[in-house]
Amino acid sequence: MDFTKIPLFQRMTDRLGWLNARQDVLSQNVANADTPGFIPRDLKPQSFEEHVKRLEPVNPELTSPMHMQGTVPVKKGPGSDKEKDPYESAPAGNSVVLEEQMMHVTETQTNYQLITNLYRKHVDMMKRAIGTS
C-alpha cells in the first residue's frame, strides 16, 4: 500500500520535509554566529489556513428553511502584521542570538518527533485495519 497517496500522510511527509529544511537553516545560523554582518534566517511558517485555501471549498447544505447561513469573520491577533526585528546584536556585528536559535532548534526537534510518532501510529492503525499487524 502506498501511503504517500493518502492526503493525511502527504501532509505529514510535507511537514517532515519542512522541518528538515528548517533544521538546516537553523544550523547555518548557529554556525555563523561569529560571522560579522550575518543575518539569521528562518523558513516561512507553514500555514494551515493557506493549505485549506488550496482545497476545494465545502459549502454547507441547508436542510431546513429555518437554518441560517452565515460566516465567521477572520480575526487577526495583535501585532500579526509586524515582522520581528532582531532585538539583540552580538559584538561581532551580526544579529544571531544563540539562545533564540537553540529554542528554535528545540522546537523543530520536538515537532519532528511529534510528526514521526503520528506517522507511526497511523501506519500501525492502517495495518491493524487491514489485519496485518
Whole-structure pTM value: 0.65
Instruction: Report domain extents, the chain.
Output: 1-42+91-133
Instruction: At 38, list the grid cell.
Output: 550575518
Residue with cell 520536538: 110
Task: Specify the long-range contacts of residues 93-97, CB closer than 8 Å, at least 24 apart.
Answer: 93/36, 93/37, 94/32, 94/33, 94/34, 94/35, 94/36, 94/37, 94/38, 94/39, 94/40, 95/38, 95/39, 95/40, 96/29, 96/30, 96/32, 96/33, 96/38, 96/40, 97/40
One digit per residue, the tens of pLDDT, for the chain of length 133 reads 677 788 888 889 989 999 999 999 999 999 998 888 888 899 888 877 777 777 776 666 777 888 776 655 555 555 544 444 544 545 556 778 889 999 999 999 999 999 999 999 999 998 898 887 6
